Amino acid sequence: MSATVNVHEAKTQFSKLLDRAHAGEEIVVAKAGKPYARLVKLDDAPVPKRTPGGWPVTGDIPDSVWFDPMTEEELADWEGRAGDLV
């Protein structure tokens, strides 16, 4: 089963058209009366098995990297007032 809708209708009824496509109906979107795109249900994609530990080990990050206080210049940049420091 197939239905043709124009772009304006597709924009205003997109959620309903998605539901119809998901239910198995093919929706053809027309632009200036000519078929332009097609909405169809996608096959269920397999969920890939996740394997923990995939990120390469880069070594320990020293605490000082995260816990050193910011300089006034860094703090001004962070707060969006970089031009205030003269």
- Inter-CA distances, 81 with 45, 70, 76, 77, Å: 47, 14, 5, 6
Level-2 CATH architecture, domain 2-39: 3-Layer(aba) Sandwich (3.40)
Q: What is the pTM of this model?
A: 0.51
Domain locations in the chain?
A: 2-39
b/e per residue, 16-45, with b = 16+ CB within 10 A? ebeebbeeeeebebeeeeeeeeebeeeeee
Give the pLDDT band of residue 86 (cuts 50, 70, 90).
low
Is the pLDDT at 45 greater than 90? The verdict is: no
